[in-house]
Amino acid sequence: MAILVTGGAGYIGSHMTYALVDRGEKVVVLDNLSTGVLGLVSPEARFVEGTIGEPGVIDSVLSQHEIEAVVHFAGSIVVPESVANPSKYYRNNTAASAALIEACVRHGVRNFIFSSTAAVYGMPQETVVPEDITPAPINPYGRSKLMTEWMLQDVSHAHDFRFVALRYFNVAGADPAGRTGQSTPNATHLIKRACQTALGHYPYLEIFGQDFDTPDGTGVRDYIHVSDLVAAHLLALDHLRGGGASNIFNVGYGQGFSVRQVVSAVEAVTGKPVPVRESPRRLGDPGMLVADSSRLQDRLKWKPEHNDLKGIIRTAYEWERRLNSRV
Ligand code: UD1
């Protein structure tokens, strides 16, 4: 039996694929390479190029391989783009997930792990957000993901099908072994951008918004190392395999850093200046999002091992230098 990783040529999916093959799992990666990079896929995984929503693609993968579980990363992730082009997000995230879930039910695939997001919370009142507050996304990206969570819940009630949805906070850093990292061209993530600015790719980093209700006025996020996020997926897989119930878990460290704090940390780690420019808020950006991940720690026994902002930045920066030297 194999694990199907959709979006396995992407940033997080490629880390997950390595983690699975590292522990001896058989992995099939499905990715349309729209933002993914083939070179990031572990050579030990079987690679299939294709788009989930296209007719026949999923059926063909699920009939050709004995798939025991699906880990679904494929999708679009850029919040401002989702505001400008919502249909793309409902197509790539919601509609594609609907097709994938339906095909799983048809082919008897009963275990499903879904990449959800802290963006489902919108602008919560809580400084640290637990899973059971009412989600209230403020952008199409968050809504497109929340709709998928709802489909998963409904389908799990109607069929022999269980899921874990992981609501990621801000994922950053790279494989400590240097095999993969964030490689999306024009990526918008703060830590990647700041590292690229330190390396001179950009003349300055824009700070989007200085008037949020946060200690220094800039956006506060819970940055989590991709390896700890992947570890949560492995625990979720074991949980479902062991007959565990469907559930939704936050994945974050419970500690927030502002944009300015991240910039200072990048300067400290790299020893290089990161010039900044103050810009207006980005469309759809909340001020502060920090995870309460006690459910994940209690139920799945998740123990973060890389909870250190500078360590996260160090691996992200090493990866950025590696990408540089390939150019
Ligand atoms: C969002 C999504 C997250 C998704 C990610 C992918 C939310 C709550 N989360 O995270 O699920 O995985 O996008 O793109 O919507 N910033 C700057 N300058 C920059 C880049 C970012 O000031 O050049 C600021 C942002 O305004 C924000 C913080 O840094 O306050 C983090 O931004 P980013 O890394 O893009 O992630 P989110 O938008 O928080």
β partners of residue 212: none
- Active-site position among 11, 121, 141, 223: 141
Which are the contacts of 106, defined by CB distance < 8 A and separation ≥ 6?
59, 62
Nearest to 111 by CA among 250, 228, 5: 5
Distance CA 182, CA 225 (A): 12
Distance CA 38, CA 10 (A): 9
2-172+223-251 and 190-221+254-326 in the same fold: no
Is 92 within 8 Å of 75 (Cβ atoms)? Answer: yes
CA dihedral sign, ordered 308, 313, 129, 184: negative
Helices (H), ranges, 71-131: 79-84, 86-89, 96-107
CA distances in angstroms from 303 to 122, 241, 243, 274, 298, listed in the order given: 26, 20, 21, 32, 10
Distance CA 150, CA 152 (A): 5
- List residues near ligand 1 (CB under 6 A): 77-79, 117-119, 168, 170, 188-190, 193, 205-209, 219, 221, 259, 282, 285-286, 289
Token pair of 237, please?
Answer: 């897989």
If one looks up domain 2-172+223-251 in CATH, what number appears?
3.40.50.720
243 SS3 class:
coil
In the DSSP assignment, the letter for residue 206 is: E
Among protein residues, the one whose CA lies closest to atom 8 of ligand 1 = 119
Distance CA 170, CA 223 (A): 5
Q: Write out the E strands in 226-303.
A: 247-251, 257-258, 276-279, 288-289
The ligand 1 atom nearest the CA atom of 208: 22
β partners of residue 105: none
| Domain spans, the chain | 2-172+223-251, 190-221+254-326
Q: What is the pLDDT along the chain (327 residues), one digit of tens a residue?
A: 999 999 999 999 999 999 999 999 999 999 999 999 999 999 999 999 999 989 899 999 999 999 999 999 999 999 999 999 999 999 999 999 999 999 999 999 999 999 999 999 999 988 899 999 999 999 999 999 999 999 999 999 999 999 999 999 999 999 999 999 999 888 899 999 999 999 999 999 999 999 999 999 999 999 999 999 999 999 999 999 999 999 999 999 999 999 999 999 999 999 999 999 999 999 888 999 999 999 999 999 999 999 999 999 999 999 999 998 865
Which mutation among 15, 76, 79, 309 tests ligand 1's pocket best, with the greatest number of atoms within 8 A of CB? 79
Q: How far is the CA of 128 from the centre of ligand 1 (A)?
A: 17
Which mutation among 285, 288, 309, 313 tests ligand 1's pocket best, with the greatest number of atoms within 8 A of CB? 285
The ligand 1 atom nearest the CA atom of 117: 11
Superfamily of domain 190-221+254-326: UDP-galactose 4-epimerase, domain 1 (3.90.25.10)
